[in-house]
Amino acid sequence: MFRTLRSRLLATYLVVVGLVLFLAGLGLILLLLRNPIADRQVYQRLELFAAVLRERADRGLGWAEPERLQTQLVRFGTPEARVLVLAPDGSPTIDNRPEMPSPPAEALTAPPVGQAPARGAYRDMAGRAWLTLSERWADGRVLWIATPRPTLRALLLLGDDLLTPLVQAAILALLLSTLLAWLISRWVARPLQRMVTAARAVADGDYRANLPLAGPREVQDLSTEFNQMVSKVQQSRQAQRDFVANVSHELKTPLTSIQGFAQAILDGTAGDAAAQRHAAGVIFDESQRLRRLVEDLLDLARLDAGQAALSFASLDMAVLVQAVVERMSVPAGEKGVHLEAQVRALPALVADGDRLAQVFTNLIDNAITHTPPGNSVRVTAVMQGEALLFSVEDSGPGIPPEEIGRIFERFYQVDRARRGGGGRGAGLGLAISREIVLAHGGTISAESTLGRGSRFTVRLPRARPGDSTAVRRIP
């Protein structure tokens, strides 16, 4: 019954309202018990009753008969009252309840003639509380009236004029609070129900769900986070689909070549030794391409899963950069590209040398690939503040502005016709380089001008006090 948030909110509101009404009622009862309002009402009735008796006595009308007296007592709401008339010498002349014990002498005192009736109270031997009223008539007699002090039940009866509207108001308040609690619980639960509906839609593959920013601030914040989560999930799913499509495409081309040339060897199409060597060479080259692709995919998988252990050590970055430049000068010379290097004295850097060499090699190789023969590639490594800046600048055709923001995406390749390069890579090198740089706490960026070339910059933080050689996993 109370499994839903709405029912729990409704029950909570009703419990709170009921508790408030209960405490208010209890407070009212305590107020009546502690407040002399009920006593005043009794005294007022006794005074009216005494005035009637005095008037009838002054006019010589009958009033002392037991039946007549009891009728008057009932009329004034004091049916249990005791009426005593004392002679001037103190002896009782009229007593409607002679069977009751005599009241204490101090309770029978009366004011002088002409003064207002005296109010009093006493407790009999049985412990019962009484309210008394006494007055002295002109003939010297004393009228003494006593009635039981109102109990809780009597208080409720005496306060009927007050309690009835209060009870009615309490019932009305309970009904209104129930309606209000239902509306509030519905108002609070409605955006959550929308989230449940949207979450189910997302689970079923519908990513068009977009929650409105309505309701309390906390609900709006939750809706914003939910919408962002859905957007990221959609991007992730799209990236997965693109990844599968790109991998399939990259695998299809070399596999087709391998299958075709292997078939040529098997069916004798490549009959002479030269043709067979050519077919075998193509098969070898394409298998190497497949191997590089698989290795790159494994690298990315390890980097994503945090399973790629980096061996951090204090490195002489000038030596590392010079070694990479010397190694890449051979393919640059074969293409007719001049490789320039400007490497100044650099401080030690705590990093994984092999991984950084992989990044630098990839950037220089890309620059050589996209630079036409006869042009140059410039490599720079300098310190800027507390960071090492490694940049590679080519003289190629450049990257279109609309594509510069996507070059670090996996399998993304700038239009080959516009960049003027071959298609050796699968579009994973820059993605891997970015993950390695991020694992070192650095950044990698690119800027390009069409017709003039591109520049890639790696920014790495220098060694800090306390850094030491260690093997760490990418977080």
Of 272, 271, 294, 291, the residue nearest 283 (C-alpha) = 291
Inform me whether the pLDDT recorded for 419 exceeds 60.
Answer: no
The percent of residues in the chain predicted with pLDDT above 90, rounded, is 14
d(CA 347, CA 354): 18
* Contact yes or no for 359/392 (Cβ under 8 A): no
Phi and psi at 342, nearest 5°, equal -125, 95
Domain end among 309, 329, 346? 309
d(CA 310, CA 350): 11
CATH number, residue 296 = 1.10.287.130
What domain range includes position 380? Answer: 310-461
Q: What's the angle, vertex CA 427, arms to CA 425 and CA 431, rounded to 5?
A: 130
What is the three-class DSSP state of 206? coil
CATH number, residue 42 = 3.30.450
How sure is the predictor about 443, in pLDDT bands with cuts at 50, 70 and 90?
very high
What is the three-class DSSP state of 92? strand
Q: Are residues 19 and 40 in the same domain?
A: no
Phi and psi at 464, nearest 5°, equal -110, 155
pLDDT in tens, 162-201: 567 777 787 888 788 888 877 777 777 777 778 788 888 8
Number of domains in the chain: 4
> Is residue 153 situated within a structural domain?
no
Is 227 exposed, middle or buried, given 0-12, 13-18 or 19+ CB atoms closer than 10 A?
Answer: middle
How sure is the predictor about 23, in pLDDT bands with cuts at 50, 70 and 90?
confident
Q: Are residues 316 and 454 in the same domain?
A: yes
Q: Are residues 57 and 44 in the same domain?
A: yes
Q: Are residues 328 and 427 in the same domain?
A: yes
CATH number, residue 445 = 3.30.565.10
> Is residue 205 situated within a structural domain?
no
Q: Are residues 190 and 265 in the same domain?
A: no
Q: Are residues 108 and 88 in the same domain?
A: yes
How sure is the predictor about 360, in pLDDT bands with cuts at 50, 70 and 90?
very high
Phi and psi at 292, nearest 5°, equal -60, -40
pLDDT in tens, 375-414: 999 999 998 888 899 999 999 888 888 888 888 887 776 6
Q: Are residues 132 and 166 in the same domain?
A: no
> Is residue 227 situated within a structural domain?
yes
Q: Are residues 316 and 433 in the same domain?
A: yes
